[in-house]
């Protein structure tokens, strides 16, 4: 069930001597991670999660998901960044970005509190309408503005609809084990709580209750998801020289040092789009610091070949692509013979769309490498929970190793605070008075 890596399309961009030269650095970064001796080593809880998760809480997640699937037509997941992207990426990977319209079993699942857009929040309120709904507010700190604003709105709506006591049975909080405003509020009001472990950062939290409750409510098999991650963990627990996550980390660092400063994650499956967003946070927040780091971008082909394809083929040569292929599509179609052949497509008769999609990949990888864009190719077997668990674990591990190779702490995110301080000052939050006038003057 492992994630495979194919470096065939790096020929002409990287040679074996470069891989040999970087091998000691990969080994060191790998050891630093595995031995827990590097910067940010108090945030390594994700490494053992697939095996060592809290079984009691896991059972409560199952029970809560069962209740929500019975008593709710809509489930609103409130969170931002690492408290949002993993759950949404997983649900869309497993059930498609059209899951709500496709009327999969269980409630419609919507995401709120991931922006400050009043239009976006109003839309989710409208989608709840008169329907029975429950909410899961997810915030490790319990103080993040975007989810806090949305929570205030949805909590108010629930209390109006079901009364204070009824609402309390429909509010699920995923937050710190002991600290923070949200935890205090939940304990006071009797909301069920789930834990974001102290030693797991937001972008590494999808395999905790942060991701697992929404994923289970959507009807996916979270036991299989954990099993897939556990298998990948076992697979990667060997020697750094034969480890696909180490190889991926090595290659992206070699390319970065050769001036390929933008990595584009490529998928040929629209349901992978939110996985790209999750990956972008994982890479961007882990590596983008101290003036360093690959810029993570993403495209979905063949869609974006008709928009970004031109740039990738002939624009600035500072790019490389990492393609994620899923071997087996969630469904397939066969193109039928047409008696008139007015569209000239009979040469495709009898061919499946997955075959055509594969040829699109093959044509594109050859064109892009001809155009000077190195390609790494990763693959996972299918759209199952097990494959997803493997992909999640693979990327988490690879980016941690890659970050250590870059010489940064892959597990902090000090830069995220800057905009918050300015926003609070401009909004007049108590305690930020000194900065306010200065910032306002700069905006004039």
Residues identified as active-site = 285, 306, 420
Task: Kindly state whether residue 135 participates in binding ligand PA5, applying the rule CB under 6 A.
Answer: no
- Name which of 400, 411, 375 is nearest 251 in CA terms: 375
CA dihedral 20, 25, 29, 32 (to 10 degrees): 120
Task: Kindly state whether residue 38 participates in binding ligand PA5, applying the rule CB under 6 A.
Answer: no
Residue 221 region by backbone torsions, left for phi larger than 0, else alpha for psi between -120 and 50, else beta: beta
Residues 81 and 435: their CA atoms lie apart, in Å, by 26
Shortest approach of ligand PA5 to residue 203 CB, angstroms?
Answer: 4
Residues 154 and 242: their CA atoms lie apart, in Å, by 49
Neighbours of 356 (CB within 10 A): 13
By C-beta, is 104 or 203 nearer to ligand PA5? 203
DSSP string computed for 275-335: HHHHHHHHHHHHH--TT--PEEEEEETTGGGGTTHHHHHHS-S-EEEEEEEESS-SS--BP
By C-beta, is 416 or 427 nearer to ligand PA5? 416
Shortest approach of ligand PA5 to residue 141 CB, angstroms?
Answer: 3
Interface region with ligand PA5, contact rule CB under 6 A, candidates 12-20, 114-122, 135-143, 289-297: 135-143
Residues 130 and 244: their CA atoms lie apart, in Å, by 49
3-state secondary structure of 169: coil
φ, ψ (nearest 5 deg) of residue 317: -90, 50
DSSP string computed for 89-139: HHHHHHH-TTTTTTT-SS-EEEEESSS--HHHHHHHHHHHTTS-EEEEEEE
DSSP state of 174: E
Out of 141, 199, 303, 357, name the contact with ligand PA5 by CB under 6 A.
141
Task: Kindly state whether residue 287 participates in binding ligand PA5, applying the rule CB under 6 A.
Answer: no
Task: Kindly state whether residue 267 participates in binding ligand PA5, applying the rule CB under 6 A.
Answer: no
Binding-residue pattern over the window 144 to 163 for ligand PA5, x denoting contact by CB under 6 A: x--x----------------
Shortest approach of ligand PA5 to residue 136 CB, angstroms?
Answer: 12
Site for ligand PA5 in 299-358 (CB under 6 A): none
By C-beta, is 141 or 313 nearer to ligand PA5? 141
Shortest approach of ligand PA5 to residue 122 CB, angstroms?
Answer: 22
Shortest approach of ligand PA5 to residue 150 CB, angstroms?
Answer: 11
Token pair belonging to 277: 């967003």
- Name which of 2, 47, 7, 36 is nearest 249 in CA terms: 7
Shortest approach of ligand PA5 to residue 221 CB, angstroms?
Answer: 25
Size of the site for ligand PA5 (CB under 6 A): 14
By C-beta, is 10 or 80 nearer to ligand PA5? 80
Out of 92, 263, 285, 321, name the contact with ligand PA5 by CB under 6 A.
285
By C-beta, is 142 or 228 nearer to ligand PA5? 142
| Strands 4-6 vs 375-380: parallel, antiparallel or unpaired | antiparallel
Residues 2 and 174: their CA atoms lie apart, in Å, by 30
Task: Kindly state whether residue 286 participates in binding ligand PA5, applying the rule CB under 6 A.
Answer: no
By C-beta, is 82 or 403 nearer to ligand PA5? 82
Binding-residue pattern over the window 172 to 211 for ligand PA5, x denoting contact by CB under 6 A: -----------------------------xxx--------
- Name which of 135, 269, 147 is nearest 202 in CA terms: 147
The alpha carbon of residue 381 and the mean position of all alpha carbons in its chain are separated, in whole angstroms, by 19
Interface region with ligand PA5, contact rule CB under 6 A, candidates 80-88, 260-268, 337-345, 366-374: 80-88
Site for ligand PA5 in 379-438 (CB under 6 A): 413
Out of 38, 40, 82, 197, name the contact with ligand PA5 by CB under 6 A.
82
Task: Kindly state whether residue 108 participates in binding ligand PA5, applying the rule CB under 6 A.
Answer: no
Out of 108, 114, 136, 139, name the contact with ligand PA5 by CB under 6 A.
139
Question: ∠ CA(7), CA(8), CA(10), 5° rounding?
Answer: 70
By C-beta, is 201 or 293 nearer to ligand PA5? 201
Binding residues for ligand PA5 (CB under 6 A): 80-83, 139-141, 144, 147, 201-203, 285, 413
């Amino acid at each position: 069930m492992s994630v495979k890596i194919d470096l065939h399309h790096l020929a002409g961009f990287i040679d074996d001597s470069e891989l040999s030269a970087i091998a000691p650095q990969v080994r060191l970064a790998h050891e630093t991670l595995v031995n827990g001796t590097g910067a940010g080593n108090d945030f390594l809880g994700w490494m053992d999660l697939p095996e060592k998760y809290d079984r009691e809480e896991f059972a409560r997640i199952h029970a809560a998901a069962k209740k929500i699937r019975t008593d709710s037509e809509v489930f609103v997941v409130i969170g931002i960044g690492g408290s949002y992207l993993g759950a949404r990426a997983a649900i869309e990977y497993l059930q498609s970005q059209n899951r709500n319209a496709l009327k999969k079993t269980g409630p419609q699942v919507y995401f709120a509190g991931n922006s400050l857009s009043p239009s976006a929040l109003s839309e989710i309120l409208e989608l709840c309408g008169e329907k029975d709904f429950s909410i899961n507010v997810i915030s490790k700190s319990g103080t993040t503005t975007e989810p806090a604003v949305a929570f205030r709105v949805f909590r108010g709506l629930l209390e109006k609809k079901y009364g204070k006591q009824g609402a309390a049975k429909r509010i699920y909080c995923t937050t710190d084990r002991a600290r923070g405003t949200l935890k205090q509020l939940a304990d006071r009001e009797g909301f069920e709580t789930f834990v974001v472990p102290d030693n797991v950062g937001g972008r590494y939290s999808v395999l905790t209750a942060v991701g697992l409750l929404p994923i289970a409510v959507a009807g996916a098999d979270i036991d299989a998801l954990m099993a897939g991650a556990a298998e990948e963990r076992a697979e990667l627990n060997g020697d750094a020289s034969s480890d696909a996550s180490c190889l991926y980390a090595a290659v992206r660092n070699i390319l970065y040092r050769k001036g390929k400063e933008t990595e584009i994650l490529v998928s040929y499956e629209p349901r992978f789009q939110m996985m790209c967003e999750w990956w972008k946070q994982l890479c961007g927040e882990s590596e983008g610091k101290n003036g360093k780091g690959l810029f993570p971008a993403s495209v979905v082909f063949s869609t974006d070949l008709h928009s970004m394809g031109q740039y990738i083929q002939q624009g600035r040569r500072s790019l490389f692509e990492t393609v994620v292929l899923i071997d087996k599509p969630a469904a397939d179609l066969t193109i039928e013979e047409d008696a008139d052949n007015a569209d000239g497509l009979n040469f495709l008769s009898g061919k499946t769309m997955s075959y055509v999609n594969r040829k699109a990949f093959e044509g594109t990888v050859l064109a892009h490498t001809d155009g000077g864009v190195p390609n790494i190719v990763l693959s996972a077997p299918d759209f199952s929970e097990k494959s997803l668990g493997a992909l999640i674990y693979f990327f988490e591990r690879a980016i941690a190793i890659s970050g250590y190779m870059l010489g940064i702490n892959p597990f902090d995110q000090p830069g995220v605070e800057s905009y918050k301080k300015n926003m609070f000052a401009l909004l007049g939050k108590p305690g930020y008075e000194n900065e306010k006038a200065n910032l306002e003057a700069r905006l004039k």
